[in-house]
């Protein structure tokens, strides 16, 4: 136990900057991933069968291969044609990966809205896009928050895999620290504590958001 505290005190400066990199990487990839997810979700509910197929192929490819393989392909394959910085290669790989899962979350919550809502909106003369934007999406977004939060936490933890293309994120830093101090178990436990702290922070923010959205829908009678 003392040794863990010792390692913690010896390394907190590099681990904190590593944690910030992990956080930056995660947030960037989740923002881009959410945008990808929203677009792909619309493709998935499209009546155009080619657009639908395209989105389905994307989702099946991403869900059907390990994230580490996707990161490696983007890093060693595509990055050799188009030059990305290491950070953007990692962030994009994570965004493309998370985008597939987020797309399914958005699709599910859009389709969970009663079809009477769309009919009522259309019967008032609203166009499909307007009805989507004003009536369906605000309701669907609320339903998507809990599964989205879950996916964000998974995304945060999965970002650790970018260590294998040489990034000094939390896990990457943990690997190199352990290789130099030979205290693998203790070092990895320290890394675990940092991840736990970040995940708890995410959970806290998500709970706050959920509670706020809930309050908006009720009250005043």
212 touching another protein, by CB under 8 A: no
- Which residues have CB under 8 Å from 136's CB, separation 6+? 110, 113, 117, 118, 121
146 touching another protein, by CB under 8 A: no
Q: Which of 196, 200, 197, 175 is nearest to 187 (CA)?
A: 175
- Cβ at position 27, least distance to another protein in Å: 27
Please give the span between the terminal C-alpha atoms of the chain, in angstroms, as a whole number.
Answer: 56
55-94 footprint of another protein as x/- string (CB under 8 A): ----------------------------------------
Q: Which of 86, 83, 90 is nearest to 33 (CA)?
A: 90
183 touching another protein, by CB under 8 A: no
- Cβ at position 120, least distance to another protein in Å: 4
What sections of 112-183 are H helices per DSSP? Answer: 115-123, 128-131, 137-158, 170-181
- Cβ at position 140, least distance to another protein in Å: 10
Candidates 81-89, 92-100, 134-142, 149-157; binding stretch for another protein (CB under 8 A)? 134-142
Q: Which of 147, 6, 161, 131 is nearest to 68 (CA)?
A: 161
- Cβ at position 217, least distance to another protein in Å: 6
Residues that bind another protein (CB under 8 A): 114, 116-117, 119-127, 130, 134-135, 138-139, 142, 216-221
């Amino acid at each position: 136990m003392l040794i863990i505290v010792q390692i913690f005190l010896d390394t907190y400066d590099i681990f904190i900057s590593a944690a910030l990199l992990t956080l930056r990487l995660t947030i960037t990839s989740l923002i881009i991933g959410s945008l990808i997810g929203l677009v792909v979700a619309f493709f998935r509910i499209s009546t155009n069968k080619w657009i639908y197929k395209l989105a389905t192929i994307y989702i099946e490819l991403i869900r059907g291969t390990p994230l580490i393989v996707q990161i490696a392909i983007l890093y060693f394959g595509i990055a050799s044609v188009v030059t990305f910085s290491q950070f953007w290669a990692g962030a994009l790989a994570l965004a493309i990966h998370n985008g597939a899962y987020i797309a399914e979350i958005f699709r599910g919550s859009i389709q969970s809205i009663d079809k009477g809502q769309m009919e009522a909106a259309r019967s008032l003369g609203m166009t499909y896009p307007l009805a989507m934007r004003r009536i369906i999406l605000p309701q669907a977004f609320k339903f998507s928050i809990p599964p989205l939060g879950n996916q964000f936490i998974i995304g945060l933890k999965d970002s650790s895999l970018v260590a294998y293309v040489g990034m000094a994120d939390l896990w990457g830093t943990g690997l190199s620290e352990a290789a130099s101090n030979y205290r693998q178990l203790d070092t990895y436990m320290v890394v675990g504590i940092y991840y736990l702290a970040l995940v708890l922070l995410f959970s806290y923010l998500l709970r706050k958001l959920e509670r706020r959205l809930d309050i908006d829908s009720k009250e005043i009678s």
